[in-house]
Amino acid sequence: MARSSDELIETDVERYLEQQQRKTLLRFIMCGSVDDGKSTLIGRLLYESHLVFDDHLSALETDSKRIGTQGDELDLALLVDGLAAEREQGITIDVAYRFFATEARKFIVADAPGHEQYTRNMITGASTADLAVVLVDARKGILTQTRRHTYLLSLIGVHKIVLAVNKLDLVGYSPETFDRVDAEYREFAKEIGITDVVSIPVSALRGDNVTRSSDNTPWYTGPSLIGGGVRGSLQRPPSFSPMVSSSRASRGVAR
């Protein structure tokens, strides 16, 4: 049986490095409107990929109590918001690049600012992306900045979209809310020529459907964001014909 990366790095460093070199590197951008949860989602990816070292975790606990926005819980967004101004204001200003890996692939994700005045920074991050994860706050639905980012992605040539309908925990994991946001986004995306959309219900704060499927969404039978949504979409070469899902069961991409 193949050993996991964690086990391999402890017993055979050379083999571990060789394994890492064989993995393909894939880039994607996390974008959407302000406060949709982009930094929190990336922080969740880093945390669940075991890329937060003990000293960083200790610092995160301290910072979460001092300037965090999640009460007594860890504020995972602070793992990404590195500028002092970002931490103090609770917003993303510059594009932050973060690396993480699964057993199958390596990823570089760009966290794009959601504020309108920093839109040009989002374009910088999207210029090297193979795919975009567009976040939408389930409570607010599709906003002007959601449409603006999607339109700019189409102009740049990023036509593979994973729609992450975030904060499902705040609407009681409602399938009706998810379906409404999904339908509205697909209608707009189709108008600007984007038809390759994979939609996934998530809660970045709680971890639902981020790296593994969640029991809180039994009505959703597709894969998690990294378990198949991003990874599956990025497995397809650029010439791959678009696949548009027609049911919740097919809104993820098979592993």
The 10s digit of each residue's pLDDT in 183-220 is 999 999 999 999 999 999 999 989 999 988 999 999 99
pLDDT band at 4 (very low <50, low <70, confident <90, very high): low
pLDDT for residue 9 = 52
φ, ψ for residue 161 (rounded to 5)? -125, 130
Q: Are 192 and 158 in contact (CB under 8 A)?
A: no
Q: Which residue has the higher pLDDT, 7 or 205?
A: 205
Say whether pLDDT at 19 is over 90. Answer: no
Please name which of 43, 95, 109, 51 lies closest in space to residue 74, comparing C-alpha atoms.
43
φ, ψ for residue 166 (rounded to 5)? -95, 165
pLDDT for residue 239 = 32
Where are the chain's structural domains? 23-45+95-250
Say whether pLDDT at 1 is over 50. Answer: no
- pTM higher than 0.85: no
23-45+95-250 under CATH 3.40.50.300, yes or no: yes
pLDDT for residue 255 = 33
* Mean of per-residue pLDDT scores for the chain: 76
Q: Are 125 and 113 in contact (CB under 8 A)?
A: no
Exposed/middle/buried for residue 30 (C-beta within 10 Å: 0-12, 13-18, 19+): buried
pLDDT for residue 6 = 55
